[in-house]
Amino acid sequence: MKSAFTGTGAIARITGAAMLIGTLAVQHPNPMFNRLQRKDTFALLPNWRFFAPEPAVHDYHFFYRTLNTAGETSPWRAVDLIAGRRLHQIFWFPSRRTEKAVFDISSEMLQMLDKGFSEVIRTPAYRVITAYLRERVHTETTGGVRGFQFALARATGHDTSTTPEMLFVSPYTPMDPAPAPATARPRIRGGSLRVR
């Protein structure tokens, strides 16, 4: 044991052992170990905690309903994008990206909600979810649908003892959206076409 700390390469072994112990220590969830990370000015000790410092404890779910040409509203339908877990997903789980997209879209919309609905509908997240739902309604229905409405709810995941909380309900969205008006006018200057 004494030879591990003396002789050629002793400094490298001591440094490696200190780095290993320090790295393991800063992974510990107890706040007492955060002192070591605060003293790590140059960020030499990596933080590889498996979960985020504040892990997500809710799942977001989208629901939609349609409005037909007779003015009747369908019941709410869940948009099931979160699949049950399988054993092979420990190694290969590309469909997890869909769940991440739902979380990111929901988070972006909710961050803008306090600025008003007019700001929410300008976000890429709102446009992505309306385009996705428009395509889904188009493929799932046989026709006669004028528009749809969607809702965003937050639930606790596998804990079914709590009721999902409704966070956002959109107005009815037409199936055939009107094209956006052109805001740029072409202008020719110096023989080249420029858009302003």
**Same domain for 81 and 168?**
yes
**Same domain for 116 and 155?**
yes
Q: Is residue 112, in this structure, part of any structural domain at all? A: yes
Full residue range of the structural domain in which residue 15 is found: 2-39
pLDDT digits (tens, 9 = 90+) for 42-83: 878 887 665 556 666 778 888 999 999 898 999 999 887 666
pLDDT digits (tens, 9 = 90+) for 126-183: 999 999 899 999 988 877 899 999 998 888 776 778 788 888 899 889 988 776 555 5
**Same domain for 64 and 136?**
yes
**What does the pLDDT read at residue 192?**
39
- Can you give the pTM of this predicted structure? 0.60
**Same domain for 92 and 152?**
yes
**Same domain for 100 and 23?**
no
**Residue corresponding to tokens 């399988």:** 86
Q: Is residue 181, in this structure, part of any structural domain at all? A: no
140 phi, psi to nearest 5 deg: -90, -20
**Same domain for 64 and 34?**
no
Q: Is residue 185, in this structure, part of any structural domain at all? A: no
DSSP-assigned letter for residue 12: H
Q: Is residue 159, in this structure, part of any structural domain at all? A: yes
How far apart CA 11 and CA 87 sit, in angstroms, is: 44
How far apart CA 66 and CA 75 sit, in angstroms, is: 8
**DSSP states of 130-182 as a string?**
HHHHHHHHHHHS-S-EEEEEEEEEEE-TT-TTSPPEEEEEPPPEESSPPPPPP
Q: Is residue 79, in this structure, part of any structural domain at all? A: yes
**What does the pLDDT read at residue 194?**
40
167: tokens are 């966070």
How far apart CA 66 and CA 144 sit, in angstroms, is: 10
**What does the pLDDT read at residue 193?**
37
How many domains does the structure of the chain reveal? 2
**Same domain for 150 and 75?**
yes
Q: Is residue 23, in this structure, part of any structural domain at all? A: yes
Q: Is residue 133, in this structure, part of any structural domain at all? A: yes
